[in-house]
Amino acid sequence: MLIAETMLGKPISLYLAQHNSPFINLLRKQQLRCPSCKSTVLVKSGQKVIPHFAHKSKAACSGFSENESIFHLYAKTELNRWLSFQSLHTELEKTYPQINRRADISVKLKSNEYAVEFQCSPISSELQHARSSDYRQIGVIPFWILPAELVKKEKLIKLTAFYQQFIRYSQTANQFYLITYSPEKQSFTIYHHLMPLSKTFFCTDYTTYPQKTVHFPSFPVSSFKMTEQTYQLQIKMNEKWLINIFKYRKSVRDPLLRKLYENNLSLFEVPVWVGLPLKSNIYFADSPMEWQFYLYLKIKKSKVFAQQQLVYELKQLIYKRVLTVRRLMEPAPFNFVEIAVEEMLHLLLQCHVIQKEGNRFSVHSTETGREIDAQNRKEHIEVFYRKMKVKIIQEYNRR
């Protein structure tokens, strides 16, 4: 905590304060309190410790949701310095009494006010969404940033549900991205176009920018084009998913295995066009294979089907919690199920997997005769990839 107040309510800031300075030594002799809970706070400072305030009592303060680390204090200081250099009006640790929240940094820009939160420790998506909702309720825009040290700088990254809730969407670049910050290096790293390959693995490109080149709140998001390498990685992760299902999901209560049993199907008989790279995959917390697998089973059972049937099937699977919607910074569009089904059917038409007559669809005769099993599956994948990779990549990049 960098802000405290006197017993008369006068704010005291330790922003940029120096250890053992006359100011610090004077504050040690004063009685100070927390602006939120009004309990007594003490000055903490050392050669390796940033000057800050800490509650004398260990009782929880409603203004803070978790214990604050020295790293968090340092990051707030550097972020505030970066914002101030842009001549923005900032306020460290601003308290919003009407919602009982305290932002790391409040930023006012023209008619907008932002609550910048540097989230070091894991929190649940429910708590993150509750905080964001509280800020929006009073007209403040929440702006969350993660520490750069938490995410590896690689083309294939693993993001747990904690990280995924901070994925944001750029309308201008038409892609999902993640912002991280390193106070030590004074730089931002942007993970561009996060493309989900499984429940937790994402394909991405990343760029690191010196903070002096980045201007709040507009962060640079590079354009992205899917490549053959990306598509090959998608196929590899799809097959890994199949093997993991075969190895680890044995329960007769498993809804997917039960569906396979009801349809008299082996797991490895699933067509190679299930698990296509779609922009809509981001909306589902499950592997692209899983939600498309269920729709394939519906298609197989119906033989001739309408788009609305698949929409209804997908909505029922979500309602019954067989499938889970991914929790992102902003909620999925209200019609994301319709968007996902439309995108999948469009690509299947382009790949000549299905055909359309009026408003009804059916699987093309060239596909219904294919017999796929564990032995010849790799061969079928290679044939499909060779024939359709250009079309699939073009369609993905077009959207």
pLDDT tens per residue across span 36-63: 777 888 878 777 677 777 877 766 675 5
* Count of structural domains within the chain: 3
Provide the pLDDT for residue 388: 94
- Position with higher pLDDT, 331 vs 388: 388
Are 77 and 46 within one domain?
Answer: no
Provide the pLDDT for residue 16: 66
**17-39 confidence digits (pLDDT tens):** 777 787 777 777 788 888 777 78
- Kindly state the DSSP code that residue 151 receives in the 8-state scheme: S
Residue range of the domain that includes 365? 228-398
Q: Is the pLDDT of residue 327 over 60?
A: yes
DSSP string, 257-326: HHHHHHTT--GGGS-TTTT---GGGGGBSS-HHHHHHHHHHHHHHHSEEEHHHHHHHHHHHHHTTSS-B-
User: Which string of b and e fits 53-84 if b means at least 16 CB within 10 Å?
Assistant: bebeeeeebebbbeebeeebbebbbbbbebbe
**104-148 confidence digits (pLDDT tens):** 999 999 999 999 999 988 888 888 999 999 999 999 999 999 999
Provide the pLDDT for residue 69: 75
β-pairing, 175-182 vs 141-147, is parallel
Cβ atoms of 114 and 217 closer than 8 Å: yes
Provide the pLDDT for residue 321: 94
Provide the pLDDT for residue 58: 64
Mean pLDDT (whole number) for 155-172? 92
- Position with higher pLDDT, 15 vs 35: 35
Provide the pLDDT for residue 374: 83
Mean pLDDT, the chain, as a whole number? 88
Provide the pLDDT for residue 44: 81
Q: Is the pLDDT of residue 65 over 60?
A: no
Among 9, 40, 64, the domain boundary falls at 64
CATH for 139: 3.40.1350
Provide the pLDDT for residue 63: 58
Q: Is the pLDDT of residue 4 over 90?
A: no
Are 24 and 89 within one domain?
Answer: no
Q: Is the pLDDT of residue 64 over 60?
A: no
Are 246 and 347 within one domain?
Answer: yes
Provide the pLDDT for residue 67: 62
Provide the pLDDT for residue 243: 92
Are 295 and 337 within one domain?
Answer: yes
User: Which string of b and e fits 187-196 if b means at least 16 CB within 10 Å?
Assistant: bbbbbbbbbb
**338-395 confidence digits (pLDDT tens):** 999 999 999 999 999 999 999 999 998 777 656 788 889 999 999 999 999 999 999 9
φ/ψ of 381, rounded to 5, equals -60, -45
What percentage of the chain has pLDDT greater than the value 70?
96
Are 40 and 129 within one domain?
Answer: no
Report residue 350 as tokens.
């382009």
Helix axes 377-398, 228-248, angle to 10 degrees: 130
φ/ψ of 159, rounded to 5, equals -125, 115
Provide the pLDDT for residue 368: 63
Mean pLDDT (whole number) for 185-213? 94
The CA-atom distances, in angstroms, between 210 and each of 13, 95, 117, 289 are 27, 30, 20, 38
Are 218 and 232 within one domain?
Answer: no
Closest CA to 121 of 83, 167, 75: 75
Report residue 122 as tokens.
């894991």
Mean pLDDT (whole number) for 298-307? 93
Provide the pLDDT for residue 72: 84
**256-276 confidence digits (pLDDT tens):** 998 888 888 888 889 999 999
Are 108 and 184 within one domain?
Answer: yes
Provide the pLDDT for residue 105: 94
- DSSP 3-state percent helix, strand, coil across the chain (nearest 5): 40, 25, 35
Query: Which of 28-32, 89-93, 107-111, 298-302 is the least confident region?
Result: 28-32
Are 259 and 392 within one domain?
Answer: yes
Provide the pLDDT for residue 223: 79
- Kindly state the DSSP code that residue 137 receives in the 8-state scheme: H
Are 146 and 21 within one domain?
Answer: no
Are 135 and 56 within one domain?
Answer: no
Among 190, 223, 256, the domain boundary falls at 223
Are 351 and 280 within one domain?
Answer: yes
Among 199, 223, 247, the domain boundary falls at 223
Are 96 and 190 within one domain?
Answer: yes
Closest CA to 386 of 349, 351, 346: 351
Provide the pLDDT for residue 202: 95
Provide the pLDDT for residue 60: 62
Provide the pLDDT for residue 70: 77
